[in-house]
Amino acid sequence: GNSVTQMEGPVTLSEEAFLTINCTYTATGYPSLFWYVQYPGEGLQLLLKATKADDKGSNKGFEATYRKETTSFHLEKGSVQVSDSAVYFCALSDQGAGGTSYGKLTFGQGTILTVHP
């Protein structure tokens, strides 16, 4: 079955530091890949996505590239801010029934990021 593995956290950085959160996956076929962010006490927000190999998803300074050869989708940001402190989830989805939509999501375990001033 499908699975997603994220780097262990928590990750603690100083403001303006470079961020990498590793994510690797196991899946059959050609999944779509996502990064979601969860702020304390809230649901998840879609941060970025990539739907095929070599696609780069980007949003709010974050980016991740779909690497099929290494089955990875690492999240990066060049300069983090205190407001980026949250839990980050990597996820994958294969096709839903009928082949016209995404299927259900498989999540990684989440990585807690804390950014200090």
Partner 1 sequence: GAVVSQHPSRVICKSGTSVKIECRSLDFQATTMFWYRQFPKQSLMLMATSNEGSKATYEQGVEKDKFLINHASLTLSTLTVTSAHPEDSSFYICSATGRGYQPQHFGDGTRLSIL
Residues of this chain that bind partner 1 (CB under 8 A) = 32, 34, 36, 41-46, 49, 51, 89, 93, 96, 100-102, 104-105, 107-110, 112
Looking at beta carbons only, is 36 or 66 nearer to partner 1? 36
Closest CA to 108 of 22, 10, 6, 30: 6
Structure token pair of residue 43: 């649901």
Minimum CB separation from partner 1 for residue 93, in Å? 8
Minimum CB separation from partner 1 for residue 14, in Å?
Answer: 23
Distance, in Å, from the CA atom of 46 to the CA atom of 36, rounded to the nearest integer, reads 5
Tokens representing residue 4 in the block: 């997603």
Tell me the closest approach of the beta carbon of residue 32 to partner 1, in angstroms. 8
